[in-house]
A and B are shown apart, each in its own frame.
Chain A
Amino acid sequence: MEFRKWIVVSWVLAALGNAAALWMIFGYVRTEVTMGLVQKIFYYHVPSAICGYILLGICFVCSIGYLWKMDPFWDVIAYASAEVGLVFITIVLVTGPIWGRAAWGKWWVWEPRLTSALILWLMYAAYFLLRLFSGKDARTARISAVLAIIAFFDVPIVHFAIKWWGNVVHPKHVALESDMSLTFLVSFLGVLLLAAALLLTRVQGTPRRL
């Protein structure tokens, strides 16, 4: 019962946070001069990427926790965070091309950060398929945990490989005006709260039997 109350609270906070973020994006912050309206996608694109990485980090930690303690509780969180993380990386991969089309004139540019996100998406989509098709027993949980740990070790290597291989399009340091950084902060909070609400809901919805 206690847990359900937290889910309601998290959803209320997520709704408030995102309402505030949307109001700030469309009603408060200035429209960027060179890119125009499409730049506003930045306020969801970047926070989604950060949240995606955080969630996959949680999946890694909980996978270790599961192999260590063999407690299904850890597995449930690992699975849920991978699933929600996949959703947020998908958001990054959808909003990226929309922004890219306006900024670079092409839907997809093989640009380091976008490419890293794509590879990450492929790895965790594979994890998701494994969980989807190989049953719900303890064996699948154990195998998935090993896979998640291996995949997470790959993240820094992917990062360097793509950085050396690709050409840099993303600006290294973004100098944001104060109203823009405030809006970014609020939208980041909104996305973070949404991620938390989704994660809690997903954890609650998964039976804890293996």
Chain B
Amino acid sequence: MRGFFRIAFLVFRKDFREELRRKENIAVSVFFAVLSLVLFYFSLDPTQIDLTTAGAGFLWLIILFAGSLFMGACFRKETETGTLHALLLAPADRGAVYLGKYLVNLLFLLFLEGLLLFVAFILLDFRAGKGLWPLCGVWFLVSVGYAGVGTLLSALITQVRGGEILYPILLFPILIPLVIAAGTLTQAALAGSNVWQSQWLRLVGLFDIIFITASLFLFEYAVEE
């Protein structure tokens, strides 16, 4: 068990450093997210629409698209350089490799969300007030599940020809319940209601548990040689 977490940590550290050094994945995804936010503003008539309500849903779409841009690439360089074989030889359960990759993706999502929220506060006059901490909690829980499915499917699609274009269409239908919950909870948090008692939060928790457990088991089959 200790070996499992050690390998997971090593994979995490390796990928984390690599992403920071290469920067292109982070830079492109973050830029795409900010760009989408600006486009969102131009696509609406801000005098007619309450930007905080509309933004609650829209921010999640941006996180979904920008996140998939980043996560879709997390196994690509391993298959391109053939290092996936080496990685799979690690003397531990393959779930450890998944966990390492997963943590990098989760960290990126949280970073992206924080940044996006900051930009939304400035550009859209987004008002959270007392709802800020519930909002952060909700977004964290949603990201946990999102990164879980995203990392597993990323491992799947890097093995097939033309997988990159398939990634979003495989990923998004599965995420629909999570998107509904995220949008509803974000609006509730911004409206100042108690989200911790919400049945939607329990749904998100269920989603997280089911998909992370399933992914840890299925990853072995997802990358088998």
CB distance from B178 to the nearest CB of A (A): 8
Do A143 and B159 contact each other (CB < 8 Å), given the known contacts A149-B218, A150-B149, A164-B200?
yes
Query: Is B206 located at the chain interface by the 8 A CB criterion?
Result: yes
Residues of the B chain whose Cβ atoms lie less than 8 Å from the Cβ of A142: 221-222, 224
Closest residue on chain B to residue A134 by CB atoms: B160
Residues of the A chain whose Cβ atoms lie less than 8 Å from the Cβ of B156: 143, 146-147
Beta-carbon contacts under 8 Å, B158-179 to A: 159-163, 166, 169-170, 173-174, 176-177
Assembly CA distance A164 to B160 (angstroms) = 37
The prevalent SS among residues of A at the interface is helix
Assembly CA distance A158 to B178 (angstroms) = 9
How many chain-A residues does the 8 Å CB contact rule pick out?
30
Query: Is B87 located at the chain interface by the 8 A CB criterion?
Result: no
Contact A154 B159 (CB under 8 A): no
Residues of the B chain whose Cβ atoms lie less than 8 Å from the Cβ of A162: 177, 180
Contact A154 B166 (CB under 8 A): no
What are the 9 A-B residue pairs with the smallest beta carbon separation, nearest first? A161-B177, A134-B160, A122-B173, A123-B173, A143-B156, A157-B177, A126-B170, A126-B169, A67-B221
Given contacts A147-B156, A157-B207, A161-B176, 13 further A-B contacts (CB under 8 A): A67-B218, A123-B174, A126-B169, A135-B160, A135-B161, A143-B159, A146-B152, A149-B214, A150-B152, A150-B153, A150-B215, A153-B211, A161-B180
Chain A: residues with CB nearer than 8 A to chain B?
A: 67, 119, 122-123, 126-127, 129-130, 133-135, 139-140, 142-143, 145-147, 149-151, 153-154, 157-158, 160-162, 164-165
